[in-house]
Amino acid sequence: MGLVEELTALLGEERVTEDPFALLMYSKDAGASRGHADLVVFPETTEEVAEVVRIVSRHGVPIVARGAGTGLAAGAVPNEGGVVVSLKRMDRIHEVDVENRTAWVGPGVINLDLSVATQPYGLHFAPDPSSQSVCTIGGNVANNSGGPHCLAEGSTVAHVLALEVVLADGEVTTLGSAAPDPIGLDLRGVMIGSEGTLGLVTKVLVRLLPNPPDVRTLLLAFDTVEDAAATVSGIIAAGVVPAALEMMDQAMAVAVENWLHGGLPVDAAALLLAEVVGETAAVEAEAEVIRRIGTEHRARSIELAADEEQRAMLWKGRKSAFGAVAQTAPDYYLHDTVVPRTRLVETLSQIYEIARRHRLAIMNVFHAGDGNLHPLIAYDSGDPDETERVRKAAEEMVEVCVSRGGVLSGEHGIGLEKRDYMPMLFNEVDLDAQARLKECFDPDGVFNPTKILPQGSRCFDLGSRPVPDGAWV
């Protein structure tokens, strides 16, 4: 029996598709790269996922897990062909333990839906990517996603206690536990951020946090990016770690305001969005510290959100920034490198210089509190010359960030986009160790091949592994 026939016998015709349009849609994520899916399947239970893995592995075909497809680093792009396993139907919230502030959820649960569902209990899931209204918990786990409100609380890895995982041979195991500090090797931590290269996550035990009793949200406008960045450093140095500390430059503010119509001060060189949460007395005191430090660094205006409606409007603008770029050009290319906060100003200056030299339109919006930059290049992918200039500029930007003591990714992952940049940060021994770890979990290289690690990281080169007899390709 062939691969398609075996999978159809397991899942039924409605959950196995070779439809050309579906294959096209599942052959890319929200980034610029496109692959080619040969088949897409939609399991609904852990048992089905395990059997899918056994069947596909027997046929020697690559397996690429997919959530909502909101990734930006081509982590879920099937560039080697094979079977895309969509986990979007595994969207049940299985159990909410209010007393222990945890929940077992399926990988297809939408990030925001989890917080909405736990709102009546006064709880929420802290990681809040800009795509949180559509991205999935499984995708958050795969990329160790962050978000504006992860400055104080940490990214996804800090909010996941355990994972149910299907391994390469179809075995189902649980990594981690409900205990906050289990003994032994942290295999849970290894799986988080592995981008589907080690196994398929079928359930997640998440940590929930209590909703804050009070909140203050401030918008500060500056005449220079330098003053805004200095304010960020000043706030942290003063001992205040806000729930969020976001910055956008003038070009991005203009794009957002043209869509939002929220009265943003678009004549400012930089806007800083700061939010503090907690007990009323504490947030009032911290908001005053932010106001004082902003004034000391020549903020031209400081506005405190008057009510929840205005606060929601400000956050709507921040989280819709990427979409607002569509007014400028049909496509955008986005990096998410990280630099130390003290190197923000000089790094941004070099990023602007790179864009000017390559004659490209660039906008910046980023998590200023932890130095997670999102330089965004607006361009037309239908123009080969411009596309090549974007590629060259993007590589230079990564080199600049790494040379300033930064790292390749803060939350989007490595995927294909930054795979070949890994030697900028890791030497041969580092890459070999990571490749050996991949081998331990996935000896035949079935899961998401050729992602994260560049070719030649280890002698068993995934890109040149022999095709098993009878393989379906």
Residue 472 domain-assigned (yes or no):
no
User: 226 with 309, same domain?
Assistant: yes
Residue 110 is predicted with a pLDDT of 98
Contact of 275 with 312, CB cutoff 8 Å: no
User: 240 with 312, same domain?
Assistant: yes
User: 197 with 246, same domain?
Assistant: no
205 pLDDT more than 90: yes
Total structural domains within the chain:
5
Residue 460 is predicted with a pLDDT of 45
User: 303 with 230, same domain?
Assistant: yes
Residue 471 domain-assigned (yes or no):
no
Instruction: Give the CATH number, domain containing residue 223.
Output: 3.30.70.2190
> Confidence class of residue 251 from pLDDT cuts 50, 70 and 90?
very high
Average pLDDT, the chain: 93
Instruction: Give the CATH number, domain containing residue 28.
Output: 3.30.43.10
350 pLDDT more than 80: yes
Residue 1 is predicted with a pLDDT of 80
Domain around 443? 422-462
Residue 219 domain-assigned (yes or no):
yes
User: 103 with 204, same domain?
Assistant: yes
Each residue's pLDDT tens digit, 265-307: 999 999 999 999 999 999 999 999 999 999 999 999 999 999 9
Q: Is pTM, for the whole model, over 0.85?
A: yes
User: 162 with 270, same domain?
Assistant: no
Residue 443 is predicted with a pLDDT of 95
Q: What mean pLDDT is predicted for residues 248-256?
A: 95
Residue 386 is predicted with a pLDDT of 96
Residue 335 is predicted with a pLDDT of 82
User: 133 with 224, same domain?
Assistant: no
387 pLDDT more than 70: yes
Residue 188 domain-assigned (yes or no):
yes
% of the chain exceeding 70 in pLDDT: 97
User: 313 with 350, same domain?
Assistant: no
132 pLDDT more than 70: yes
User: 318 with 335, same domain?
Assistant: no
Residue 230 is predicted with a pLDDT of 93
Q: What mean pLDDT is predicted for residues 338-342?
A: 91
The residue from 322, 339, 357 where one domain ends is: 322
User: 334 with 396, same domain?
Assistant: yes
Residue 468 domain-assigned (yes or no):
no
77 pLDDT more than 60: yes
The residue from 210, 230, 265 where one domain ends is: 210
> Confidence class of residue 468 from pLDDT cuts 50, 70 and 90?
very low
Residue 147 is predicted with a pLDDT of 92
> Confidence class of residue 126 from pLDDT cuts 50, 70 and 90?
very high
User: 191 with 225, same domain?
Assistant: no
- Three-state SS string over the chain comes to CCHHHHHHHHHCHHHEECCHHHHHHCCECCCCCECCCCEEECCCCHHHHHHHHHHHHHCCCCEEEECCCCCCCCCCCCCCCCEEEECCCCCCEEEEECCCCEEEECCCCEHHHHHHHHHHHCEECCCCCCCCCCCEHHHHHHHCCCCHHHCCCCCHHHHEEEEEEECCCCCEEEEECCCCCCCCCCHHHHHCCCCCCCCEEEEEEEECEECCCEEEEEEEEECCHHHHHHHHHHHHHCCCCCCEEEEEEHHHHHHHHHHHCCCCCCCCCEEEEEEEEECHHHHHHHHHHHHHHHHHCCCCEEEECCCHHHHHHHHHHHHCHHHHHHHCCCEEEECCCECCHHHHHHHHHHHHHHHHHCCCEEEEEEEHHHCECCEEEEECCCCHHHHHHHHHHHHHHHHHHHHCCCECCCCCCCCCCCHHHHHHCCCHHHHHHHHHHHHHHCCCCCECCCCCCCCCCCCCCHHHCCCCCCCCC
Instruction: Give the CATH number, domain containing residue 156.
Output: 3.30.465.10
Residue 31 is predicted with a pLDDT of 87
Instruction: Give the CATH number, domain containing residue 340.
Output: 3.30.70.2740
Block residue for tokens 């990714």: 409
Residue 470 domain-assigned (yes or no):
no
The residue from 210, 231, 258 where one domain ends is: 210
User: 317 with 219, same domain?
Assistant: yes
Residue 432 domain-assigned (yes or no):
yes
Residue 453 domain-assigned (yes or no):
yes
